[in-house]
Structure 1
Amino acid sequence: MSALEIQNVRKTYGAVETLKGIDISLESGEFLVLLGSSGCGKSTLLNIIAGLAEASGGDVRIGGRSVLGVHPKDRDIAMVFQSYALYPNLSVHRNIGFGLEMRKVPTAEREKAVQETAKLLQIEALLDRKPSQLSGGQRQRVAIGRALVRKPQVFLFDEPLSNLDAKLRMETRTELKRLHQMLGTTIVYVTHDQIEAMTLATRIAVMRNGRIEQLGTPEEVYNCPATLYVAGFVGSPPMNVLSAVVGEDGLRLDGSGQVITMPNHLKGVAAAGRRVKIGIRPEALRLAGEFDGLLALKVDIEVVELTGPELVVTGRVGGERVTVCLPPRARLDVGMTQLFSFDEDALHLFDAETEQALR
């Protein structure tokens, strides 16, 4: 039995359709990340699962039971909010155990659950403090503890790390990953940060304009993007996209006169004369000569940036921008034209009109 089933869920506000038919089936123990830019509908979908918003159509089932019309407290879910939502006048101990207290759980059982959760989150020393005496990372752990202590069927996280600084965000992300591996909990997690999605998820649902563009494992979404939007949204720096026309001799790039040989795995997917978009990830490009038998791309270099672990090169092919990630010891100068090679499996092809991947 699926832990969570979302069946053709729709949501409208007057004439505006926010969700346009969402279908997801989530097995017990999965970590699903709803990934997308602001306004794509991911938080609306999370609120419908939680019962904080009503669906205009479709069904939501938790543990095989439809929860449409069921009060949030009776859905067997726990939610962690972006703003922590802690009670400022209560200690950490009471904040974690408050939900159990409201459900009339016996004191001894409640105390045991709070202590176990605090130990798991490594906040035993903070139990007597008030939220105002805690750092942002500690407050978020308390909010997570308040959800964990109830042991629900499904945990819901609404951008829980967005209020933390970069270092704390990374540390808390690692803690969430560790907790999921230890507990095997079922989680639905909303974020616009693709790094969070890639590192945390067992499956990612990339959303756009109220629809799911692609649903798959992090590896599938990264290595085999289903659409041009997914290709550009997932990856840092994002995938390079170049306009081209399919010719008899290969892929003819707009504005530069360059021709890239059609890779063997893409031969026959597009007829001659068809307009396409070529996708190549920045890390797939290498200085020509490092490998034999690879495809090549000539780039006019405009900017060279050393980030520490890598050298990020920005240039142009015709009128379109290209980014290349190289080892930090590579030596390139602004203004030069450099040939970069790449393996044929690194080239992705998309239809220029539909933006769907051609396979």
Structure 2
Amino acid sequence: MSALEIRNIRKRYGEVETLKGIDIALESGEFLVLLGSSGCGKSTLLNIIAGLAEPSGGDILIGERSVLGVHPKDRDIAMVFQSYALYPNLSVARNIGFGLEMRRVPQAEHDKAVRDTARLLQIENLLDRKPSQLSGGQRQRVAIGRALVRNPQVFLFDEPLSNLDAKLRMEMRTELKRLHQMLRTTVVYVTHDQIEAMTLATRIAVMRDGRIEQLAAPDEVYDRPATLYVAGFVGSPPMNILDAEMTANGLKIEGCEEVLPLPAAFNGAAWAGRRVKVGIRPEALRLAAGSEAQRLTASVEVVELTGPELVTTATVGSQRITACLPPRTAVGMGSAHAFTFDGTALHLFDPESGRSLRME
């Protein structure tokens, strides 16, 4: 039984169609991340699931029950907002248990639920404080606790970590992962941060212009991007995309003399003359040894040491590539180097449709 089913959801504001037919079935215990840039429709979809907005078409089912027209409080969902949305005049304990108070849960049951939730989130010592006395990370834990204490069918998170600094974001990502593994809750989580998506999700829906570009497990999205958009959006640094032409002998990269071998699934004669976009992940590139034939000669422009890796930006003909190399690699700005890679690291895309040309 699906915990949440989104059926052909559309949303229109006048002449502008924000959502263009979204279909997702989410099983109990899944952690779905809606990933995309600002304006792609991910928050609109979350608000429709929550009942804060009504769709222009389609249906939302929670536990196989249609919730269209059902008030948010009756949908058996809990939502964690970007802004925490805590009551400043109430203690942490009362903030966590506020929903239970409104439902007139017996006091003993209420107190136990609040204590158990605080223990789970490791904030038992904060129960008597007010939100103004808490750090950003502590406030976020309280907001999560207010959702957890209700034990709903579906949890909704709207960019909950975006107000935290980098260190706290990493800590809270780990905490959310730990909680999900313990509780096996069903989660829909909105973010534009691909690291959050890759580390938290069981499935990622990459959204663009009101549509889903790809819906798959994180490793599938990363290793087998369905479109040029997904290839460029997921990954840091993003995938290198080069213009090329298929020939009977291999891939001719625009602006340079070198020809790369075609992936084994493609027949050079059958595909000869076709323009393609070639994708290579930066971490798939390495400096070539003298005997390696599969190589791209590039002129290094910028070298950045991040600590664990050396991020090298170089030009191949008139096109730019990025390579993530070991930190002590000897490359210098303005020097020419030959880069190589495993042939299985190549991704081919149609330049018109943007779709992957991978052969199943």
**TM-score between both structures, scaled by the size of structure 1:** 0.98
In structure 2, the residue matched to 1:201 is 201
| Deviation of the 1:268 alpha carbon | 6.0
Task: Sort the Cα spacing of 1:269 and 1:325 in 2 relative to 1 into closer, same or farther, 3 A.
Answer: farther
Measure the CA separation in 2 of the matches of 1:267 and 1:35.
Answer: 35
In structure 1, the residue matched to 2:325 is 326
| Deviation of the 1:179 alpha carbon | 0.1
Letter in 1 for 2:252: R
Measure the CA separation in 1 of the matches of 2:112 and 2:105.
Answer: 11
In structure 2, the residue matched to 1:50 is 50
Measure the CA separation in 1 of the matches of 2:89 and 2:152.
Answer: 26
Task: Sort the Cα spacing of 1:159 and 1:270 in 2 relative to 1 into closer, same or farther, 3 A.
Answer: farther
| Deviation of the 1:336 alpha carbon | 1.2
Measure the CA separation in 2 of the matches of 1:200 and 1:298.
Answer: 38
Letter in 2 for 1:318: G
Measure the CA separation in 1 of the matches of 2:297 and 2:286.
Answer: 11
Alignment of 1:53-202 (within 5 A): 53-202=53-202
Q: Deviations over 1:188-235 (max 9, x none)?
A: 000000000000000000000000000000000000000000000000
| Deviation of the 1:294 alpha carbon | 6.8
Measure the CA separation in 1 of the matches of 2:242 and 2:112.
Answer: 59
Measure the CA separation in 1 of the matches of 2:208 and 2:174.
Answer: 27
Q: Are positions 1:301 and 2:300 aligned together? A: yes
**Helix, strand or coil at the partner of 1:266:** coil
CA contact (8 A) 1:301 1:316 kept: yes
In structure 2, the residue matched to 1:342 is 341
Structure 1 gaps of 5+ residues are none
Letter in 2 for 1:132: S
| Deviation of the 1:21 alpha carbon | 0.2
Letter in 2 for 1:326: L
After TM superposition, the runs of 4+ consecutive aligned structure 1 residues lying more than 3 A away are: 266-270
| Deviation of the 1:273 alpha carbon | 1.2
Task: Sort the Cα spacing of 1:249 and 1:39 in 2 relative to 1 into closer, same or farther, 3 A.
Answer: same
| Deviation of the 1:265 alpha carbon | 2.8
Letter in 2 for 1:213: E
CA contact (8 A) 2:248 2:269 kept: no
Alignment of 1:242-257 (within 5 A): 242-257=242-257
CA contact (8 A) 1:3 1:154 kept: yes
In structure 1, the residue matched to 2:233 is 233
Measure the CA separation in 2 of the matches of 1:36 and 1:83.
Answer: 20
| Deviation of the 1:119 alpha carbon | 0.2
Moved more, 157-166 or 292-301: 292-301
Q: Report how many residues are paired.
A: 358
Q: Are positions 1:279 and 2:279 aligned together? A: yes
Measure the CA separation in 2 of the matches of 1:8 and 1:268.
Answer: 40
**Helix, strand or coil at the partner of 2:204:** strand
CA contact (8 A) 2:262 2:268 kept: no
Measure the CA separation in 2 of the matches of 1:72 and 1:53.
Answer: 10
Structure 2 gaps of 5+ residues are none
CA contact (8 A) 2:157 2:187 kept: yes
CA contact (8 A) 1:269 1:358 kept: no
Letter in 2 for 1:114: V
Letter in 1 for 2:346: L
In structure 2, the residue matched to 1:28 is 28
**Helix, strand or coil at the partner of 1:138:** helix
| Deviation of the 1:248 alpha carbon | 1.4
Measure the CA separation in 1 of the matches of 2:109 and 2:17.
Answer: 46
| Deviation of the 1:266 alpha carbon | 3.3
Task: Sort the Cα spacing of 1:268 and 1:212 in 2 relative to 1 into closer, same or farther, 3 A.
Answer: farther
Q: Deviations over 1:28-52 (max 9, x none)?
A: 0000000000000000000000000
Moved more, 262-271 or 84-93: 262-271
Letter in 1 for 2:114: V
Cα RMSD (Å) of the superposition?
Answer: 1.2
